A and B are shown apart, each in its own frame.
Chain A
């Protein structure tokens, strides 16, 4: 066994077949020790999302039934007043934030999956597959999201959460795929990848265990950014009137405010808070993104 073949200690690491699970936890532990600030930022973000989800389920705050009295100003019983059909605006906001964030996460999951597929698999295989993925990425990149959603909204007349989810997810992945592709191409030229290839490790295993973990942190960054974009686009479409009516999202609150005249009549408590919440959420996402990018570019120490 080992005594028969004289290999140096360095090469034993490649030959020793660790399972993907142990590699994953090793990387996690390394990330926690080296990039503690970023891990804290991510955990903070996840805690906020969890708080919002739980808050919207607790009894006093999950009551969005109408007919409590129309368009009341903020008072002690109704913290932000009521809207035109008598729903409590504060509860609407919390439920809406939860739905918006959930929508953003789902859309981002699909988008990031597509981006990883087109960004890692294509360039790694090389040759014709790389050219095809590059071409498809460039074509979908140029396609405008909003006119296409307007087109679909006119033609289908049925607007559900799933259709909007799929349209937003299918058009937001190209720029992430491009950046991931740039990273993968630069990783491909590194020495340890070449050594792994020469030593006969299978191509899929290299892609999973060597290339992907280096790109994974960037993929997470793209996930976070696309969440922000999805939330903003969905709110914009809902405010126009092309959104779905099944769930309450921040955009649908804004549409109610516009459609039933709350903006014209000056009921600030209805239409200003959702916008401020969107801004706050996107600022949090941007800070997350900033703290990540400062670790990827070691030369730029201070970006914040």
Chain B
């Protein structure tokens, strides 16, 4: 078929169509994989988070070296035996840990140890055990606290916010003030309020002792663990739902006035269905805040673990703090940054999956 344009030029359309379709079938799967926008997002975020992790590690490396004070001061405090052999031992330790060499050389050794051998040093206050072995058992407890709290506060907070945002009247106002109070309450103080109520007055839940180690197959063990888990979890959920609720509420109030809601209401849709539609549309901007919230919740979890003696990274950090153990605190800081980086990476990937616009630059 040939078209005649205004200038009487004949365009050969069928042949160009055929050429295009021939080219399309010849694009290899590898090319499709490489030009896929999701893969681009994956690579971009991978590089970015690797850089963030690198910056975190470098900071953790630099700060104790730059501060005044000797990393070996635990050993330096009490000389044992006669002075010259003690001095020799200290010098040998110094040479072993390369503390006398220039900063760049130390940095090189540090990176090599971390990335090649996975070795974060030795904990002096725990009798010379490697830091990685000490930190490993504490990680599952922290993850067990952080991930469910993030997910459940997201769900509950947004649901509360949607309900208060959509309806009018006294209940909505009352709910609004409750949400604000919940959001502003300092979580560490709220933890003690809860402890006071649940533990001291009613003796309902255990407090002040460590929960048993996790054995995944044993139901009794898991049930016992839940008794210890219940209180910190409740505190976290109460204190962190408020933030989602207030944001969701303002988004819902804005969404309530939009055209499709008014039109559908005239058409006779039920209010709960409309609320569900409005909530779905308001949920997307909330997802962008999930990154920041995850970091916030992780930081708060560390403190809550220290308060409730839940054996996560928080208690480890407090222990390192009280004993002044350099390698342990740096190791747990690096592990914390690793958790944050991996968590944020997955959240970004999930967000890229849900909202295709950010993959192609939001145009």
Contact = CB atoms under 8 A, between A and B. Distances in A.
A154 B292 contact: no
A279 B180 CA distance: 9
B200 A266 contact: yes
Contacts of B302: 146-147, 150
B11 interface: no
B87 interface: no
B295 A278 contact: no
Contacts of A78: none
Interface residues of A, number: 48
Nearest to A281: B184
Interface string B305-320: 0100000000001101
A221 B351 CA distance: 28
A144 B295 contact: yes
What is the predominant secondary structure among interface residues of chain B facing chain A?
helix
Contact of A239 (B49, B56, B188, B317): B188
A151 B52 contact: no
Contacts of A148: 59, 333
A144 B329 contact: no
Contacts of A254: 188-189
B298 A155 contact: no
Interface string A287-299: 1000001000101
Contacts of B49: 142
Interface in B184-201: 184-190, 192-193, 195-196, 200
A264 B295 CA distance: 31
Nearest to A150: B317
B257 interface: yes
Contacts of B52: 139, 142-143
B332 to A, nearest CB: 8
Given A145-B299, A275-B193, A151 B330 contact: yes
B186 A232 contact: yes
A153 to B, nearest CB: 6
A119 interface: no
Given A151-B60, A153-B321, A275 B186 contact: yes
Given A236-B186, A286-B180, A155 B192 contact: no
B317 A147 contact: yes
A5 to B, nearest CB: 42
Given A144-B337, A235-B186, A258 B192 contact: yes
Nearest to B176: A304
Contacts of A138: 48
A240 B300 CA distance: 12
B158 interface: no
Contacts of A146: 299-300, 302-303
5 contacts: A144-B295, A150-B321, A153-B321, A155-B329, A302-B253
Given A154-B317, A154-B321, A154-B329, 13 more contacts: A141-B291, A145-B299, A146-B299, A147-B299, A154-B320, A155-B69, A236-B187, A236-B188, A254-B189, A275-B189, A275-B193, A283-B184, A297-B254
